[in-house]
């Protein structure tokens, strides 16, 4: 790597001795960050980047927001976790229930993976059925059921799932059905054929980058209502990002359950499963008895440090102009990139919504996972590399936009993107 200095070489060598593949499993290990402020980060060599990674999303109001930092520091002096109820966790639950359309009650957990796992388990407990229907390419955490047909290398005939990891029992495939995203007819046929065995449908309202086709989410809502299935929106990414009420507010469709993460912890580990009280009742043994009780325990669930960070983050997002600013920044980037692509005459397109999008290097409509397989991943990797050299940090396939990004960040991004386009044949 050009410019990879002695400190970075030494840190990477240390990492390779103690970490499999030399990293945390999240990002290329040669990227070693030191600090972040607002919409920017600095690596250990002092290089400055406009940050569209945002810790994979949770830093929606930017790094080290002074108001969040203040309340976190205050709480740390009073205790970091108790394993009991605490006032701040209760207040955060109240704020989420008030904001999110489907949320009558919620249960805190430590990560999005846990939230998705418990949402699927809740659906099975509530309906007394084993099967969950998900969509090919949909990401629902690292559980065995979540890691079915996330990014299959070998495509199977629907609805057969494909495991995306070693170590998943073969029996898990018997309880997961897979459908193509944005294909309501295929989902309808599947539910009509196997609906008596299906507990629920789990879906990302925006699947990775792909927006729902007009009427798709409402069609899922109507289908679940008709057949008595639990509709789960995985809003770990979209919750409080697309609107204060999440993607269910933004798209105007209310599920039975949703999962939340990233933003609600203000940069600290916190997630939740939320939804209808009659379904959430399975967490309460006194209401459902031993047979219906769903056990859930988490050492740090609802811890007060994450709760105060989340509360302050939500307070900031309620202020006038917060979402308007994010959408204005995202639109400026999306429109600028689309114009550059058009001028270059490239087979590429901008896919997503203003708070979360990327350029996909392929022609033709991108409406499901299999369409993304047409993308030129080598070109995308090259563009990302050129962007990083120009001081732009992003994930392999996402720009996360924050409230902290400024016009100068947009200008620097477009300058780097223009240079990247010029390097393509």
**pLDDT, tens only, 2-29:** 557 889 999 999 999 999 999 999 999 9
**pLDDT, tens only, 57-99:** 999 999 999 999 999 999 999 999 999 999 999 999 999 999 9
Would you state the pLDDT for residue 3? 57
14 belongs to a structural domain: no
Same domain, 71 and 59: no
Nearest C-alpha neighbor of 87 from the set 315, 239, 311: 311
Same domain, 197 and 326: no
> Is 50 exceeded by the pLDDT of residue 1?
no
**Residue 46 DSSP label:** -
Same domain, 275 and 398: no
Would you state the pLDDT for residue 425? 83
2 belongs to a structural domain: no
6 belongs to a structural domain: no
Same domain, 228 and 335: no
Same domain, 85 and 143: yes
Same domain, 59 and 118: no
Would you state the pLDDT for residue 5? 84
**Got the DSSP string for 275-334?**
E-HHHHGGG-HHHHHHHH------TTTT-HHHHHHHHHHHHHHTSTTHHHHHHHHHHHHH
Which residues are paired to 263 by β-bridges?
none
pLDDT averaged over the chain?
Answer: 97
12 belongs to a structural domain: no
By CB atoms closer than 10 A (0-12, 13-18, 19+), residue 348 is buried
Active site residues: 139, 234, 262
Residue 183 structural domain: 66-317
With a pLDDT cut of 70, the percent of the chain lying above it is 99
| Token pair for 281 | 């009742």
Task: Answer whether 0.95 is exceeded by the pTM.
Answer: yes
Would you state the pLDDT for residue 45? 95
242 belongs to a structural domain: yes
Same domain, 136 and 181: yes
CATH code for the domain of 376: 3.90.1150.10
- Examine the fold and report which residue of 286, 317, 348 is the final residue of a domain before the chain moves on: 317
d(CA 248, CA 198): 23
40 belongs to a structural domain: yes
Same domain, 217 and 268: yes
**pLDDT, tens only, 222-280:** 999 999 999 999 999 999 999 999 999 999 999 999 999 999 999 999 999 999 999 99
- Examine the fold and report which residue of 290, 317, 344 is the final residue of a domain before the chain moves on: 317
**pLDDT, tens only, 35-63:** 999 999 999 999 999 999 999 999 999 99
Same domain, 72 and 196: yes
Same domain, 56 and 85: no
∠ CA 280-286-290, rounded to 5°: 90
Would you state the pLDDT for residue 110? 96
d(CA 73, CA 87): 17
Q: What is the mean pLDDT of residues 126-136?
A: 98
3 belongs to a structural domain: no
Same domain, 47 and 121: no
The number of folded domains in the chain is 2
Same domain, 99 and 133: yes
- Examine the fold and report which residue of 302, 317, 332 is the final residue of a domain before the chain moves on: 317
């Amino acid at each position: 790597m050009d410019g990879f200095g002695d400190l970075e070489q030494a840190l990477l060598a240390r990492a390779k001795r103690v970490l499999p593949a030399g990293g945390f499993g999240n990002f290329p290990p040669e990227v070693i960050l030191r600090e972040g402020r607002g919409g920017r980060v600095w690596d250990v060599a002092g290089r400055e980047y406009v940050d569209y990674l945002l810790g994979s999303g949770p830093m929606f109001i930017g790094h080290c927001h002074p108001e969040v930092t203040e309340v976190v520091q205050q709480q740390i002096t009073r205790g970091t976790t108790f394993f009991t109820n605490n006032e701040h966790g209760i207040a955060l639950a109240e704020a989420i229930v008030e904001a999110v359309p489907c949320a009558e009650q919620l249960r805190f957990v430590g990560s999005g993976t846990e939230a998705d796992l418990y949402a699927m388990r809740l659906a099975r407990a509530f309906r007394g059925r084993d099967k969950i229907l998900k969509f090919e390419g949909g990401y629902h955490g690292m559980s065995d059921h979540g890691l079915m047909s996330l990014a299959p290398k070998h495509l199977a005939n629907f609805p057969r799932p494909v495991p995306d990891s070693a170590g998943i029992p073969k029996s898990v495939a018997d309880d997961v059905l897979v459908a193509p995203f944005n294909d309501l007819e295929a989902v309808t046929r599947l539910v009509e054929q196997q609906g008596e065995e299906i507990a629920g449908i789990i879906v990302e309202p925006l699947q990775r980058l792909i927006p729902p086709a007009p009427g798709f989410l409402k069609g899922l809502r109507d289908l679940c209502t008709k057949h008595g299935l639990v509709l789960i929106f995985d809003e770990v990414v979209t919750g409080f990002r697309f609107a204060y009420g999440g993607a269910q507010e933004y798209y105007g469709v209310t599920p039975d359950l949703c999962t939340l993460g990233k933003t609600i912890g203000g940069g600290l580990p916190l997630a939740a499963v939320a939804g209808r009280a009659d379904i959430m009742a399975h967490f309460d043994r006194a209401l459902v008895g031993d047979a219906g009780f769903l056990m859930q325990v988490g050492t740090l669930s609802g811890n007060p440090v994450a709760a105060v960070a989340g509360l302050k983050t939500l307070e900031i997002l309620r202020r006038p102009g917060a979402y308007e600013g994010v959408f204005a920044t995202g639109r400026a980037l999306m429109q600028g990139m689309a114009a550059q692509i058009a001028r270059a005459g490239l087979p590429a397109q901008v896919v997503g919504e203003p708070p979360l999008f990327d350029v996909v290097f392929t022609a033709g409509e991108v409406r499901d996972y299999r369409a993304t397989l047409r993308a030129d991943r080598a070109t995308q990797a090259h563009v990302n590399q050129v962007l990083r050299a120009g001081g732009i940090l992003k994930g392999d396939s996402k720009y996360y936009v924050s409230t902290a990004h400024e016009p100068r960040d947009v200008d620097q991004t477009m300058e780097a993107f223009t240079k990247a386009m010029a390097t393509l044949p």
